């Protein structure tokens, strides 16, 4: 019975999704098909807002002023189809419509709402006002000013966090590329069990991050983690190394940022390895033949052939890696973010998360997020510009 | 400039033997073309000489120096690759000077040698371009230029023209011939195109299935092909083959096949009792199938054939003829002026006729 009801639930969900898409397609179909009919405008204006209002009302989502909003939206949609789309390429648009709607709901709406929030003041003391009246006090650019002057956390302000984030990003991406490159070079040789090695190496990346990070976090436990056990054994085996300071470390409490970096480097290497391996395999072997005849040594081939030729694959991967690492909240939150955790390892994004959901400063964090977005945007533009410039030079 | 010697070269790829005891000597200043169908092992042989492929057995000498275990760069060879293998991120100049820069040669010398090579190949204006900005023929010239800059003892060309279109290929063929006259160095050139082989080579090496079939000047391999394979591979259009049996009759040999019987002159095949009943293949080039013109005195008796199709090539015309069940291709002067279906008297020129034993495939005629 349990099974049956859960199957029923899944079926119902699938049906609702399919029906939603069908309704949406029907909606767009009307606009594409009849955009040049005289009754197009009036039928649409009368029909859709009413239907949607009734449907939403029946589902318990009816709200004051909803009908007026639907009416206005529908008028805009009708005008858009009649005067801008004009029935051109309608099949292609029709097929893209569900995807565009999804994107609009998932990306555009939250982004617009975030911008709205950042110019108002939503926090613990104003949230009830928002709930009751639907309005928020407008504060202009004050949130943006606060981002740089009021620390998001108890310990660190914006610029200290920014510095830490840049350091965190640099170290991680550097070792991702270095490690990925080394592993890819090894895997690019004719070795036995290549497929096995590749699979094993990709596992940390293919595993859900939560599982991987929590497992690794356990290994950094001061008493039971293998890292400290190994350090203990080394110190016991070689008093000389022990005298140099090799020994167990209180990873999570004394060096939270280093621990996060170690874990994240381990997590990120497989991605770079796969990308670089793909790049290496696409290099024609005749370049290496020619370089052999020209008398290049192994390192000269690496420097003059391999590196320049994998650059087109490497640059986008590094850009992506930079953005991901800069924005990485999983590792830091999972290693240090639980109750009683330290704030010493926090970077901009994890501080943002805490500001929003631990300290409930919603508008402040909305502005904070937009600042981070602008920084990342600048970094990406810079990367892509230099990459394009490098491509032009070819 | 140097001599090259292959002694008993064997190459195995796992269980597959692609080269079976290849022996070949190449003299100083010689332009040798290795030709054969794809998969015959010619490129493998060249790559083994360059040091890019492991040698499974046998020895390779350049100027009497055993090079089996010498690094490619130490063999003083230069190679031009089929896909040019120009480094895409370097300019023409950087491509050409790469080997010298690796050796840390003086800047002045690098410049002089690049300029000289560029001058020979008329690359002066292209020196600062990227390979991507060059046409196929220009890239090919840069690849050759890169080889010249190294001043090697031996030039290796690995199917250098096969990526070019037909017209450009002809132009580059002439350029390579000119280049050889100018450099006069030892060149080993691999191709699957017998026209390139015939036009460029001082000596042709014909390979099939990892075995050298014949070595000789272009005219030797054309006039006296050593076996059926060479006869069929060299020459365009392909030689006509007629299968039949030999009979020895009063002082001469008679060839008979279901559609055609000929008395062969003793000059071609002496009346030797051992030929009695021998299964043979008769080879006649399309040029030596005399159709509709006055037969020379060394011609066979005339027989009738039917014209099936004629192809006008401009100055020549290909005639597809049928005699009984036998199909023959004849190449004659344009314009032949007979319509398909008409009867054409034909005779075969004994001067250029070849007889091959069908069992051993070897040539038995003089």
Q: Taking CB atoms and an 8 Å limit, are A294 and B150 in contact across chains?
A: yes
At A210-244, the pLDDT tens digits run: 999 999 988 988 888 888 899 888 888 888 888 88
Give how far A292 is from chain B: nearest CA, Å. 6
Residue located via tokens 């600062």: B128
C-alpha to C-alpha distance for B65 and B52, rounded to whole angstroms: 18
- pLDDT band at residue B78 using 50, 70 and 90 as cut-offs: very high
CATH architecture of A150-360: Orthogonal Bundle (1.10)
- pLDDT band at residue B23 using 50, 70 and 90 as cut-offs: very high
The answer to whether B89 faces chain A, any CB pair under 8 Å, is yes
B90: nearest CA in chain A?
A394
pLDDT at A339 over 60: no
Out of B79, B89, B103, name the one closest to residue A293 (CB). B79
- Span A320-326, average pLDDT: 91
Q: Taking CB atoms and an 8 Å limit, are B85 and A289 in contact across chains?
A: yes
Residues 126-155, chain B, touching A (beta carbon < 8 A): 130, 132, 146, 150
Give how far A188 is from chain B: nearest CA, Å. 18
Mutation target to probe the B interface, by most B beta carbons within 10 A, among A284, A290, A292, A302 is A290
pLDDT at B1 over 70: no
At A113-123, the pLDDT tens digits run: 999 999 999 88
Q: Is B186 helix (H, G, I), strand (E, B) or coil?
A: strand
Q: Taking CB atoms and an 8 Å limit, are B51 and A305 in contact across chains?
A: no
Q: Taking CB atoms and an 8 Å limit, are A284 and B150 in contact across chains?
A: no
Q: Taking CB atoms and an 8 Å limit, are B52 and A295 in contact across chains?
A: no
C-alpha to C-alpha distance for B362 and B254, rounded to whole angstroms: 19
Cα B218 to the chain's mean position, in Å?
Answer: 8
Phi-psi label, residue B8: left if phi above 0, alpha if psi -120 to 50, beta otherwise: left
Burial of A312 (0-12, 13-18, 19+ CB in 10 A): middle
Delimit the CATH 2.40.50.140 region(s) of chain B. Answer: 240-357
A284: nearest CA in chain B?
B85
Q: What does DSSP say about strands B77-80 and B252-256: parallel, antiparallel, or unpaired?
A: unpaired
pLDDT at A273 over 60: yes
pLDDT of residue A340: 60
Structure tokens at B16: 């597959």
Q: Which of A13-22, A242-251, A271-280 has the lowest mean pLDDT?
A: A242-251
pLDDT of residue A46: 85
Say which DSSP state B118 is in.
H
- pLDDT band at residue A391 using 50, 70 and 90 as cut-offs: low
Domain ranges in chain A? 2-87, 150-360
Out of A289, A294, A394, name the one closest to residue B102 (CB). A294
pLDDT at B90 over 60: yes
B53: nearest CA in chain A?
A289
pLDDT at B222 over 70: yes
- Give the Å distances, CA to CA, from B171 to B177, B237, B238: 10, 22, 24
Structure tokens at A347: 């970077």
Out of A293, A308, A393, name the one closest to residue B50 (CB). A293
CB atoms within 10 A of CB A371: 18
Out of A290, A304, A311, name the one closest to residue B85 (CB). A290
pLDDT of residue B266: 82
Which residues in A lie closer than 8 A to residue B146 (C-beta atoms)? 290, 294
Q: Is the dihedral of CA A33, A35, A38, A42 positive or negative?
A: positive
pLDDT of residue B227: 92
- pLDDT band at residue B91 using 50, 70 and 90 as cut-offs: very high
Q: Which of A272-276, A390-394, B189-193 has the lowest mean pLDDT?
A: A390-394
Looking at the domain covering B240-357, what would its CATH class be? mainly beta
Superfamily covering domain B4-233: P-loop containing nucleotide triphosphate hydrolases (3.40.50.300)
């Amino acid at each position: 019975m349990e099974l049956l009801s859960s199957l029923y639930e899944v079926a119902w969900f699938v049906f609702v999704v399919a029906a939603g898409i069908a309704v949406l397609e029907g909606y767009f179909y009307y606009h594409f098909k009849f955009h040049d009919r005289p009754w197009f405008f009036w039928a649409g204006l009368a029909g859709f807002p009413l239907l949607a209002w009734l449907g939403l009302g029946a589902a318990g989502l009816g709200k004051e002023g909803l009908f007026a909003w639907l009416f206005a939206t529908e008028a805009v949609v009708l005008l858009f189809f009649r005067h801008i789309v004009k029935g051109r390429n309608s099949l292609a648009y029709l097929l893209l419509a569900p995807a565009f709607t999804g994107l609009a709901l998932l990306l555009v709406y939250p982004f617009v709402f975030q911008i709205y929030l950042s110019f108002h003041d939503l926090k613990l003391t104003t949230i009830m006002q928002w709930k009751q009246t639907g309005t928020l006090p407008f504060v202009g650019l004050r949130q943006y000013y606060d981002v740089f002057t009021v620390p998001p956390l108890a310990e660190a302000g914006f610029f200290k966090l920014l510095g830490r984030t840049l350091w965190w990003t640099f170290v991680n991406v550097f070792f991702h590329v270095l490690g990925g490159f080394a592993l890819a070079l090894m895997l690019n040789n004719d070795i036995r069990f290549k497929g096995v090695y590749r699979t094993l190496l990709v596992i940390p990346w293919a595993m859900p991050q939560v599982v991987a990070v929590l497992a690794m976090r356990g290994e950094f436990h001061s008493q039971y983690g293998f890292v400290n056990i190994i350090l203990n054994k080394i110190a016991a085996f070689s008093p000389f190394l022990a005298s140099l300071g090799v020994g167990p470390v209180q990873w999570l409490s004394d060096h939270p940022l280093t621990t996060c970096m170690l874990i994240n480097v381990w997590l990120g290497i497989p991605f770079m390895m796969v990308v670089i391996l793909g790049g290496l395999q696409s290099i024609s072997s005749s370049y290496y033949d020619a370089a052999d005849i020209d008398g290049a040594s192994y390192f000269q081939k690496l420097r003059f052939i391999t590196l320049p030729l994998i650059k087109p694959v490497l640059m986008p991967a590094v850009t992506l890696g930079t953005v991901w690492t800069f924005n990485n909240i999983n590792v830091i939150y999972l290693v240090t973010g639980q109750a009683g955790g330290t704030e010493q390892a926090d970077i901009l994004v994890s501080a943002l998360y805490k500001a929003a959901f631990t300290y409930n400063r919603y508008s402040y964090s909305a502005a904070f997020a937009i600042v981070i977005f602008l920084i990342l945007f600048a970094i990406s533009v810079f990367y892509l510009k230099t990459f394009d410039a490098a491509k032009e030079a070819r | 400039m140097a001599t090259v010697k292959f002694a008993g070269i064997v190459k195995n790829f796992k269980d597959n033997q692609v080269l079976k005891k290849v022996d070949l000597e190449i003299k100083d200043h010689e332009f040798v073309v290795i030709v054969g169908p794809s998969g015959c092992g010619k490129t493998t042989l060249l790559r083994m000489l360059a040091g890019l492929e492991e040698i499974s057995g046998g020895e390779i000498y350049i100027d009497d120096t055993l090079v089996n275990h010498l690094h490619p760069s130490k063999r003083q060879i230069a190679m031009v690759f089929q896909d040019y293998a120009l480094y895409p991120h370097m300019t023409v100049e950087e491509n050409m000077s790469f080997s010298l820069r690796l050796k840390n040669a003086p800047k002045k010398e690098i410049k002089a040698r690049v300029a000289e090579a560029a001058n020979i190949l008329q690359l002066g204006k292209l020196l600062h371009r990227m390979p991507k900005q060059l046409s196929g023929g220009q890239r090919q010239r840069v690849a050759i230029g890169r080889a010249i800059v190294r001043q090697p003892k031996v030039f290796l060309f690995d199917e250098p023209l096969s990526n070019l279109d037909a017209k450009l290929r002809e132009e580059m063929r002439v350029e390579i011939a000119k280049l050889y006259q100018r450099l006069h160095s030892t060149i080993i050139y691999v191709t699957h195109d017998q026209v390139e082989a015939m036009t460029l080579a001082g000596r042709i090496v014909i390979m099939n299935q990892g075995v050298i079939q014949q070595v000789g000047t272009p005219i030797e391999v054309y006039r006296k092909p050593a076996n059926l394979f060479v006869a069929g591979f060299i020459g365009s259009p392909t030689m006509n083959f007629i299968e039949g049996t030999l009979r020895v009759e009063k002082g001469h040999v008679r060839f008979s096949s279901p559609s055609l019987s000929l008395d062969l002159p003793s000059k071609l095949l002496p009346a030797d009792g051992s030929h009695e009943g021998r299964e043979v293949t008769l080879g006649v080039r399309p040029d030596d199938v005399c159709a509709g013109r006055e037969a020379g005195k060394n011609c066979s008796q005339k027989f009738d054939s039917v014209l099936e199709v004629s192809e006008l090539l401009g100055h020549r015309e290909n005639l597809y003829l049928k005699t009984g069940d036998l199909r023959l291709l004849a190449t004659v002067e344009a314009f032949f002026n007979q319509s398909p279906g008409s009867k054409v008297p034909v005779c075969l020129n004994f001067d250029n006729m070849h007889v091959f034993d069908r069992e051993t495939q070897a040539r038995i005629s003089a």
